[in-house]
Amino acid sequence: MDNNKKNLMLMVPMLHQGGFERVCIKTARLMQDYYNVYILIFSSKDINFDITGLEVIDIDVPAKKGVVNKVINVFKRVRKTRKIKKDLKIDICYSFGGSANYVNTLSKGKERVLTGLRCQTDMENPKQVRLFCSRSTQVLSCSREIVRQLKADFDYDRSTYIYNPLDVEDVQRKGAEPIDDFPFGPQGRSQGTKTDDGKNEPMTPSPGTKIKVIADMARNDYIKGIWHLVKAVAIVAKSHPEVRLVVLGAGNWDKYRQLAKDLGIEDKVAFPGLRKNPFPYVAAADLYVCSSNHEGFPNAVLEAMALHKSVISADCKTGPREILLSDDEYNKLIEEIPDGSSPKEPIQGSFGILVPDMDENENFDPNVVTEGEKMLAKEIARMLDDEELMQSYADKAYERALFYTPEKYAGSIHEILKRYE
C-alpha cells in the first residue's frame, strides 16, 4: 500500500449479487488511484463479482436466523471491524446497506464514517435512520428522493446523493457475448433449457412464431414484485400470444412457476436462475419491465437501457422516476404530489414509461388481479403494438444511459471523500 495515500474502507455484507454490491466494487476500482482501498465483507460465500486486484477482507461472520443470533452477530462484527479499522489506520469508512451501516457506525473510532441509505426499505425504520444520521459524518444516497425525505421527515441536512455509475461499454460488451441456453431460442424459436435447480423449462410456441420477449433481472424477493409481472403478462398473452417473459435472478421460483401454470402461461414464462452474465439474455429481449415495489436506484433498469431496451417500470418510491423522467417532469411530479406518493395513472416519461406503484403484499392467487397489474399490462401491450414507439423509447433509453458515466460518478464521490481526508 502507498503510504502517501489515505486509507479508504468500503463495507458491504457480501459480494453475492445485487445493485449496491456492484456499486461497491465499482467504487473500489475507481478510487484506487486516490486511496489505499479495502473492501470489508461479513462473508465470502458465493462471491459473484470479479475482485481481481482488490484488497478484500472477510471477517467471516455470516448472517444467521433468529433475533438472538442476529444481535450476537452484530457484536461480533463490530468487535472485529473496530480492530481492523484501527490496525489499518482507516481514515474513511463508507458502508453500503443497512446491516453494514450498523457495523460501520457502531465500530466508529477516529475515522470518518459515511453511511449509505440506498433504498426505500432503509427509510422504513425511523430508529435505525436516526442512529445512522447521528453517528455518520455524512449520509450518502443514490436517490434525490431519499435526500428529500431525510430533510422533510428527520430534519437532517448532512446528506447528498450520487447516482450510481454505469459503464455502458462494459454492459454492451457483456451483452454481446453468445449464449446457448436462451429459453426461447434464436429467432423466436423456442428450445427447452435447464434451470439452476435442474428443472426443465418447456417452451414450445408454434413453428415460425415471431415471439416478443420481456426481460427482468431480479432476485426472488417480495420487493421485486414479480408476481405482478407474471399476472400482467398473463393478461397481455390473451391478446398477444407471442409474448414471453424471462426473469433472471437467484432464488426458488417454484411459486412463480405454479402461478404461471395456474394462469395458463407456463409455456410463456422462464426463470433460468442467476447468471454471472445476465446481459446477453436482456440483449435478446424486446422490452424490459421493472415491477419492483422498493428500489434505491435500480442498476438493472439502467443496464437494460444501456442495451438499447425500452423500459416500463413501476413508480416505486425511489429510483425509477429519477431515471425515466426528465428533470422538468420530475419536478412537476413533486409539485403535484409533494409527499412523494405514486401517481394514479401511468406517465409517459421522456426516457420510459412509469406505471403506478403496486401492492407490496405477495398474492399468488390467479383469480386476484389488481388495477395496477391491469395498467401494467395495458402499457406492455401498447408498447408491443407500436414498433415505432418502442424504437423511440429504446433510443431515448440509450441516450439516458450515457448520462450516468463512471467518470462523473468518480468525480462526485472523490469530491465528497476529499472533504474528510
The domain limits of the chain are 6-165+405-418, 168-401
pLDDT band at 201, cuts 50/70/90?
very low
Residues listed for the chain: 421
Which segments of 268-370 does DSSP mark as H helices, in order? 279-283, 299-306, 320-324, 327-336
User: Is this prediction's pTM over 0.75?
Assistant: yes
**Residue-wise pLDDT tens digits, 306-321:** 999 999 999 987 889 9
Q: Are strands 55-58 and 35-41 parallel, antiparallel or unpaired?
A: parallel
The mean pLDDT value for 196-214 works out to: 56
Q: How many CA atoms lie within 13 A of 226 on its CB side?
A: 29
Higher-pLDDT residue of 239, 4 = 239
Helix H or strand E segment including 38: strand 35-41
Mean pLDDT score across all residues of the chain: 90
Instruction: Provide the percentage of residues in the chain whose pLDDT is more than 90.
Output: 71
d(CA 324, CA 348): 9
Instruction: Please state which of the ranges 121-125, 160-164, 204-208, 297-301 shows the lowest mean pLDDT.
Output: 204-208
**Residue-wise pLDDT tens digits, 316-368:** 878 899 999 999 999 999 899 988 889 999 999 999 999 999 989 999 999 99
Asked if 138 and 159 touch (Cβ cutoff 8 Å), the reply is yes
d(CA 194, CA 2): 48
Q: Do domains 6-165+405-418 and 168-401 have the same CATH topology?
A: yes
> In the beta sheet, which residues pair with residue 200?
194
CATH 3.40.50.620 fits 6-165+405-418, yes or no: no
> In the beta sheet, which residues pair with residue 355?
314
Query: Pick from 279, 278, 348, 283: which is nearest to 312 by CA?
Result: 348
**Residue-wise pLDDT tens digits, 218-242:** 999 999 999 999 999 999 999 999 9
**Residue-wise pLDDT tens digits, 103-115:** 999 999 999 999 9
Hey, how many other C-beta atoms are within 10 angstroms of the C-beta on 132?
24
Whether residue 386 has pLDDT greater than 70: yes
Indicate the fold that domain 168-401 takes in CATH.
Rossmann fold (3.40.50)
> In the beta sheet, which residues pair with residue 314?
355
Q: Are strands 243-248 and 92-96 parallel, antiparallel or unpaired?
A: unpaired
